[in-house]
Amino acid sequence: MLHLRVVSPADVTDQVCAALRDRPGVAHLAVLRGVAVQPEGDMVEADVARECVDDLLADLSALGVDHTGGITLEPLDTVLSDAADAAEEAAPGDGQDAVVWDELVTRTGEDSRLSGAFLAFLTIACLLAAIGAVTNSPVTVIGAMVLGPEFGPLAAVSVGIVLRRRDLARRGAVALGIGFLAAMVVTGLATLLFDGLGLMNSADLDSLDQVDFIYEVGWFSLIVALLAGAAGMLSLTSARSSALVGVFISIATVPAAAFASVAAVEGRWTEAGLSVAQLLINIVGVVVAASAVLYGARRKGRPGPDRPLSEG
C-alpha cells in the first residue's frame, strides 16, 4: 500500500474526503483540520491500495488540490491492519500490475536530470569500463555497467514518447547526449594519459577474448537490449527496483561508449565504429521495448499527468 497525504484548502476538504470514502482500496482515513500552515488548510491522510492510486490522483487533481494544496505519496513496507487487508481485497486488479503515472513521470524526470552527480557517475562508469576492457577484465566491465546511470534518461525518453511529454523526452535525450559525449571525451583523454605513462598501448587491444562482447554487434545485441528495456520498464512500473540491477548488467551502453573512445585514440577505427553501433543499438532497443511496455499499460489506464517537470 501507499500512504497518501493531501494538503487541502478548507473549502475543498469535504470533497477530498468524499473522493476517498467513495474509492475502494482506501483505509485509515484521517482529517486534521487547520493544521496546514503553508499553504493554509487541512491535512487529509489515508492508506491506499496501489491499484487504486492512479484513479484517485486523477480525482484529486480534478479538484485542483495539486495546485491549491499538495499531494504526496510514500510506500508502506509493513501494514498490520484488518482494515488495510480488507481495502486491498476490495481494490480491483493487482497492485503489482498497477501503474501510478504521476509516480512514474516524477521518478523518471528526477532520474534523467543532467546534474553534476549524473555526469560524474557516467564518467566514472566509462573510465572503469575502459580499464576493464583494456585489462581484459569482465568483472570490472560489469561493475561499470551496474554503476552507469543511463537507464534513467532512457526510461524518461520512453515515458515522454508514450505520454507525448516533450519536456520529459527532451530532458532524457539531453542527458544522454551531453552525458555520453562528456564521458567519452574524458575517457579519451584518460587513454592518452595512460599511453603517456606507459600503462597501455594499442597492442593491448589485440586479445580481448573476455570482453569482446563490447564491440561484437549482432542480432543478439538487439534482442538483449529489447529484453532489458522491457524488464527495466516493468521494474519501474511495478515498483520492483531490485530487478533493475539485472537490467544494468544486460545493456552494454557504458562499455560500448568507453571502448569507442579507447579504440579511436589508439587508431582502431573498426572497433571504434562497432562500439558506436553497439551503443546506438542498445539505446534504440531499450527505448523501443520500454515504450512498448508502457503503451500496453497506458491502454488500460488514464493518459497520465500533464504537469510540467520541475527544474529545481
**What does pTM read for this prediction?**
0.81
- The three cell numbers locating residue 240: 520492483
Percent of the chain with pLDDT over 90: 51
Residues ≥6 apart with Cβ < 8 Å to 280: none
Residues 289, 291, 293, 297: what is their CA dihedral angle, to the nearest 10 degrees?
-170
Over residues 113-136, the pLDDT tens digits come to 899 999 999 999 999 999 988 888
Arithmetic mean of pLDDT, 137-157: 91
Residue 34: predicted pLDDT: 92
Over residues 11-66, the pLDDT tens digits come to 999 999 999 987 888 999 999 999 999 899 999 999 999 888 888 888 899 999 98
pLDDT of 280 higher than 70: yes
pLDDT of 288 higher than 90: yes
Residue 176: predicted pLDDT: 95
Residues 101 and 233 sit within 8 Å (Cβ to Cβ): no
DSSP string, 134-178: HTT-HHHHHHHHHH--THHHHHHHHHHHHHT-HHHHHHHHHHHHH
Residues 269 and 213 sit within 8 Å (Cβ to Cβ): no
CATH architecture observed for domain 2-98: 2-Layer Sandwich (3.30)
Q: How far is CA 81 from CA 47, 91, 119, in A?
A: 11, 16, 44
Over residues 59-118, the pLDDT tens digits come to 899 999 989 999 999 988 888 999 988 888 888 777 666 778 888 888 888 888 899 999
Percent of the chain with pLDDT over 70: 91
d(CA 233, CA 249): 15
Q: How far is CA 241 from CA 143, 231, 295, in A?
A: 18, 11, 20
Domain ranges of the chain: 2-98, 102-298
Q: Which residue reads 488540490 in cell numbers?
A: 65
Report which of 89, 80, 86, 61 is spatially closest to residue 4, judged by C-alpha positions: 61
Spell out the alpha helix ranges (H) of the chain: 13-21, 50-62, 65-68, 82-90, 101-111, 116-134, 138-147, 151-163, 166-196, 219-237, 244-250, 253-265, 269-298
Residue 312: predicted pLDDT: 47
d(CA 198, CA 207): 18
